Amino acid sequence: MTTLIIILLVIAGIIALLLIIAFLTKRKHYVNREIIINAPRQKVFDYVKLLKNQDEFNKHAMAGPDRKREFKGTDGTVGYIYAWSGDKDAGVGEKEIKNIIEGKRIETEIRFCKTNVSRRLYNHGDRIFIR
């Protein structure tokens, strides 16, 4: 009986520890990548800020060329939305330009929509910095 109580207390302690760790971790995650491009800063910025151009280097877009695309607004401006739907690899989602600091930074939000019992929305903040 004593060993059973000890085992239950150890299991309860592990569960409590995992809950404390989960409570203290950050809820937002950021992905940063860097690449050096041998071109003038403004030329690179003007190319990257157009979401339609990102299909040329987006591996998911190149994998599903038959997917449906929809564009709302003026590309390269705040509020522009690039939406897509495709097979299970491409999925369904949209990317919106949230903020532009001309010549320096583009902030976008990606929303992945996955149909299950209910519709769920996943947000991902994406920032492109030009140095």
Between the alpha carbon of residue 67 and those of residues 16, 24, 60, 116, the distances in Å are: 45, 40, 10, 20
Q: What is the pLDDT of residue 17?
A: 94
Q: What is the pLDDT of residue 117?
A: 30
User: For the segment 67-89, what is each residue's pLDDT rounded down to a tens digit?
Assistant: 788 999 999 999 999 988 877 76
Average pLDDT over residues 27-33: 72
Q: What is the pLDDT of residue 123?
A: 40
Amino acid present at 34: E
Q: What is the pLDDT of residue 63?
A: 65
The alpha carbon of 1 is separated from its chain's Cα centroid by a whole number of angstroms, namely 51
What are the two backbone dihedrals, phi and then psi, of residue 97, each rounded to the nearest 5 degrees? Answer: -80, 120
**HEC assignment per residue over 47-111:** HHCCHHHHHHCCHHHHHCCCCEEEEECCCCCCCCEEEEECCCCCCEEEEEEEEEECCCEEEEEEE
